[in-house]
Amino acid sequence: MPPKANLIRQLSLEELTEFLNANNFPKFRAKQILDWIWKKNVGSFEEMKNIGKDLQTFLDEHFTIDKIVLKDQQVSNDKTIKSAFSIDDKSVVEGVLIPTAKRMTACISSQVGCSLACTFCATGRLKLLRNLSSGEIFDQVFHLKSEAENRYSKSLSNIVYMGMGEPLLNYKNVLKSIDWICSDKGLAMSPKRITVSTAGIAKKIKQLGDDEVKFNLALSLHAANDEKRNEIMAINETNNLESLQEALEYFHKKTNSRITFEYIIFDGFNDEINDARELAEFAKCVPCKINIIEYNPIDGEPFKQAKTEKVDRFASFLESRNMIVNVRRSRGKDIDAACGQLANKNKAIQLQDRKLKPKK
């Protein structure tokens, strides 16, 4: 008999069916329960109105629903919404809904804090507390999807795992959350609408290839030579560009998917034509597109946003090398919801010690 701490959302349909059968409950209840948990996203067994009170009580005695709770929300001048979710008594993560003319994108977190400590990222200042469960990841998407529909009358079009944490260091739960997001028992979204972004963990990129995943992969590159990348991303010291190139080639061979290279452009650091030349040389290893991302300053860091004319010249050089290039302008900067700013000026840096209280 499983302990109360068991998370029911960790069970597959087969596992839940077997457990119910072993305890003399009808097998068909398993589908009903999973429908309540995933598609309807309830937070208690009492809300499952069609399974009977005996089963409600039994489930409550044996399982926990690892439901996240909205604690705070900010809306930017550009309509970007940043939501802070309570995970437990001392942990909060953030998710962001980014509305544009063509897309409605949810940016979600996969860990509480991060262990990689990239120098330009506010989340990197937080120590890693724990991985999120697949259910906790799913809940962020469900909430942001509801916000898109209720506030903007639009469907969620894209999901990016680009919030707090390194998704590939929470490999199992990230992939399981995507399975439920894409399942017709969950949100029934296409995996091609989902992008998982990694700072670059070669063996896990290869594992994605072996698992033949259908979602998109993005690599946070930010520099195309090891010396510069070591300076801003400690992960590069154990996963250098050569190993990443090999892993990306392997991933593409296995999945036939195009890679996205993310390149935050910093003033005076990686914004020269020679940097663009190195990027073009590296990026040709696989079919790809390049997203040049405007840097969003965080307190206490020396980096500055690159000048517009340099960004444009950088992008033009890449296009002259037949690269597909998008320049991503920041959204949600006024509420610290832009790329690299999660856990910045809101109270999230202090969340390891206390809860974030909702605004009055």
Measured CA to CA, the distance from residue 281 to residue 318 in angstroms comes to 10
Measured CA to CA, the distance from residue 354 to residue 85 in angstroms comes to 13
CA atoms within 13 A on the CB side of 262: 21
Q: Indicate if 182 belongs to the active site.
A: no
Residues 6+ positions from 63 with CB-CB distance below 8 Å: 2, 4, 6, 7, 8, 45
Residues 6+ positions from 107 with CB-CB distance below 8 Å: 95, 96, 97, 98, 160, 162, 163
Measured CA to CA, the distance from residue 94 to residue 83 in angstroms comes to 6
DSSP state of 290: E
Measured CA to CA, the distance from residue 137 to residue 175 in angstroms comes to 10
Q: Indicate if 94 belongs to the active site.
A: yes
Element (H, E) at 139: helix 134-152
Of residues 107, 121, 182, 339, which has the active-site annotation? 339
- Bridge-based pairing of strands 91-99 and 325-328 is unpaired
Please state, as a whole number, how many other Cβ atoms lie within 10 Å of the Cβ of residue 210: 11
CA atoms within 13 A on the CB side of 103: 12
Of residues 46, 47, 94, 114, which has the active-site annotation? 94
Please state, as a whole number, how many other Cβ atoms lie within 10 Å of the Cβ of residue 172: 10
Residue positions annotated with a catalytic role: 94, 339
